[in-house]
Amino acid sequence: MNAHEIDYRIIGQEMQVVEIHLDPSESVVAEAGSFMMMDQNIRMETIFGDGSGAGGRGVMGKLMGAGRRLLTGESLFMTIFTNAGYGRESVSFASPYPGKIIPMDLSMLGGKLICQKDAFLCAAKGISIGIEFQRRLGTGFFGGEGFIMQKLEGDGLAFVHSGGLVLERELRAGEVLRLDTGCLVAMTSGIDYNIEFVKGVKSALFGGEGLFFATLRGPGKVWVQSLPFSRLADRVLSAARAPGGREEGSILGGLGNLLDGK
C-alpha cells in the first residue's frame, strides 16, 4: 500500500468523533479545524497540500498541489499528525456539525472517491486530495454546490462527514437517482452526475424545493445526507430575521412576545 495503514474507532451518535490509532511513524492528514485531541507522542506539522507527493516532489509540485485546494475554498495548508513514539498512539478528530462520519476504504471503491468540497475530514497519509471539475456547464452554473468537487485518490482510509442521517445507495448500470443538490455527500467515480431543471412552472416557482435537482446515473455507490449544512444555516438565519423574534407556529406572534415582556 502507498497510504499508511491506520486503525480507527468512531465514537458517538449525533456529534461523532473519529479516533485514529497510529503505530510508530504512521501519519494521518486532516482538514484545518477538525482536530480535537491527541496523545503526548503525536507530533503536528503544517504542510503544503496533502503530503501524498501526487503533484510532484519538487517545490513547484508541492505549490501546485496546495494551490488546487484554493479552488475548493480550502486553505493552502493541511496538518499532518505523526506518531513519534515507540508504542501505539491516538489522535481524534470531530465532525463540525451534527451528522455522521463515514469511513471510506478507497481500495474497495476503485481507488477514487468524489465528494462535496466541505465533506473531507481526515485521511491516512498517502491519500491524494485534489479537485474534480464537472464536465457539464449546466452543472457548474446551477448545481447549488458548484462544479468543483473534492477528489480523494489512493488505496487507504479516508473519512468524510455528512449532516444528519446518511444513506448509502448502490445504483445499477443505467439506474437513475434524483436528489436535492445539497444532499449529495459522495459518489464513486463511475457515477454520471448532472443537473436537471424542475419541470413544470408551478413546481419550479411554488414547490419550495428549488429550480434544479441532481441526477445521478449508475453504476456505482452514492452517499446522501438528510441535513445539508446550507439548509441548516438557512433555517437559522431565517429564524433570526423573523420580525420581533416570532417563533414558528406561534398563533399570537408579536403580540405574544409583547405580553411576555419581550
Report the alpha-carbon distance of residue 76 to residue 8 in Å, rounded: 27
pTM over 0.75: yes
Report the alpha-carbon distance of residue 103 to residue 108 in Å, rounded: 11
Q: What is residue 149's predicted lDDT score, i.e. its pLDDT?
A: 83
Distances from the Cα of 230 to the Cαs of 15, 34, 144, 233, in angstroms? 18, 19, 10, 5
Domain boundaries along the sequence of the chain: 7-245
pLDDT along the chain (262 residues), means of 10: 88 91 95 91 86 58 54 70 96 91 95 90 91 60 59 94 92 92 90 76 49 86 88 74 56 47 46
Q: What is the architecture of the domain spanning 7-245?
A: 4-Layer Sandwich (3.60)
